Amino acid sequence: MTPAWFIQTRKPAWERLEQLIARTGSRGVRVLAEKELHELTRLYPAVAIDAARARMYKLDRTTQERINRIAIAAHGLLYKRRRTKVLPTLMRFFSTDYPRHFRRLWPYVVFSVAMFFVSGLGAYVTVQLRPSLIHVFIAEQLDMVDGEKGMSAEDMSERYRRMPHAPMAAGLMVNNISVAFNAFAFGITGGIGTCYVLLVNGTMLGAFIAHFTNHNQAYACWANLTPHGVLEIMAILIAGGAGLRMGLSLAIPGALTRKASLRAGAKDAVFLVLGTIPMFVIAGIIEGFVTPSYISGDAKIAVGLITGTAALAYLLLLGRARPAAGSGRPGIIAGGPTLSAGND
């Protein structure tokens, strides 16, 4: 076959495919009739072969580019990837996938909680018995918690009210997220860095509460800490669990190579941390607007307990519907050694 004969015999197919592509416009193949769609699927493979044959026959550059353009456009129509809809994806992640993911990795979170509260209890008892040791735990924050100068519950709330609420809420969110990120990211040290972050923050909280308790301000402390602190601490502890998941995958790879184990652990950990973002946002809003408000201490404590209970119910109860038999268990992450909690 000569180049001229090739062009003469194949040109009608190129023109017809061009017409079909032009007809789809921006709406895609859905505008084509069934007959036209069959024609498109029949013409595309032949024109794709023509693109290679055009190079073989050394046709002029303009003709080669035309055939290539037609083949690429047809391929894009037939194999166009479905666009991921962001909002439904996020809704499914938070309503189903994340609670299941949390329950699959709960042993890591439990270990994070144990480290935090054991260290906090130790600091609390220490400062209760030796009040002067408060300087060891929170020396830099003593100007904010100095009960020896007669700070009252109103004085504590007033510290919050002096700052503009919106910037304060944003700043607190950023600060708390940074603590959680450190707890997660330091998991790359084999979990040692994560343990350090949990221990430091646990001892600071325990010493903080003990200091106010020593000066008869326990109620004021809880009234100003509970509204935002429940969600805030819960999110940090989940991030700590994520860091421990990543750290253990690096330290104890099991049957996998260390690289493969770390990859699986890091993927698990990232998804576990992502789910804490709404907690930090809500906690920051509460700390910026509810904590410094003039509502009673009892009401503030109730806000913290209600939000904490709602968060626990969300994590433990949502997404428990079983997949259909034989369909496989839906989830975000698969593979990699984990401390399994069993089925949902």
Q: What is the mean pLDDT of residues 224-244?
A: 93
20 part of a folded domain: yes
Q: Distance between CA 49 and CA 55 in Å, rounded?
A: 10
55 and 74 in a single domain? The answer is yes
Residues 120 and 326: their CA atoms lie apart, in Å, by 46
- Which of 48, 78, 108 lies at the terminal end of a domain, its last residue? 78
15: Cβ contacts below 8 Å, ≥ 6 apart? none
CA-CA distance, 246 to 268, in Å (whole number)?
A: 8
What integer is the mean pLDDT of 254-273? 91
pLDDT for 245 equals 95
pLDDT at position 53, please?
Answer: 87
Q: What is the pLDDT of residues 95-117, one digit of tens each?
A: 999 999 999 999 999 999 999 99
Res 330 pLDDT > 90: no
CA distance 339 to 320: 19
Residue type present at position 174 = V
Residue 329 domain flag: no
What lies within 8 Å, CB to CB, of 156 at 6+ separation is: 217, 220, 221, 224
Contacts of 6 (CB under 8 A, 6+ apart): 53, 54, 57, 59
My answer on whether 126 and 263 are in the same domain is yes
Do the Cβ atoms of 165 and 284 come closer than 8 Å? no
Domain boundary among 33, 60, 78: 78
Residues 99 and 204 both lie in one domain:
yes
Banded model confidence at residue 273, pLDDT cuts 50, 70, 90 = very high
Amino acid code (one letter) for 67: I
The answer to whether residue 335 scores a pLDDT higher than 80 is: no
Residue 22 and residue 109 share a domain: no
Residues 283 and 262 in one domain: yes
Tell me if 332 is assigned to some domain.
no
Are 166 and 311 members of one domain? yes
pLDDT for 151: 52
The answer to whether residue 333 sits within a structural domain is no
Asked whether residue 343 carries a pLDDT value surpassing 80, the answer given is no
| Mean pLDDT over each residue of the chain, to the nearest integer | 82
Which residues have a Cβ under 8 Å from the Cβ of 133 and sit 6 or more positions away? 126, 127, 207
Per the CB < 8 A criterion, the answer to whether 205 and 233 are in contact is yes
Q: Is residue 344 one of the residues assigned to a domain?
A: no
Own/partner pairs for 62-71, CB < 8 Å, 24+ apart?
Answer: 63/7, 66/14, 67/14, 70/14, 70/17, 70/18, 70/21, 71/44, 71/47
pLDDT at 333 over 50: no
Structural domain contains residue 301: yes
* Each residue's pLDDT tens digit, 138-173: 765 555 555 444 455 555 555 555 554 445 455 556
> In the chain, how many domains are there?
2
């430091």: which residue's tokens? Answer: 200
Residues 38 and 93 in one domain: no
Do both 145 and 73 map to the same domain?
Answer: no
Confidence band of 197 (pLDDT split at 50, 70, 90):
very high
Read off the pLDDT of residues 287-318 as tens digits, 9 standing for 90 and up. Answer: 878 888 888 889 999 999 999 999 999 999 98
Q: Are 53 and 91 members of one domain?
A: no
Does residue 137 sit within a domain? yes
The reported pLDDT for the residue numbered 195 is 95
Domain boundary, last residue among 58, 78, 98 = 78
- Average pLDDT rounded to a whole number, residues 325-336: 42
- Looking at residue 94, what DSSP letter applies? I
Same domain flag for 230 and 213? yes
Decide if pLDDT at 190 tops 70: yes
One domain for residues 202 and 262: yes
- Same domain membership, residue 227 and residue 116: yes
For residue 127, tell me if it sits in a domain.
yes
pLDDT of residue 138: 79
- 85-114 as b/e: b if 16+ CB within 10 A: eeeeeeeebbebbbbbbbbbbbbbbebbbe
**Residue-range definition of the domain harbouring residue 12:** 3-78
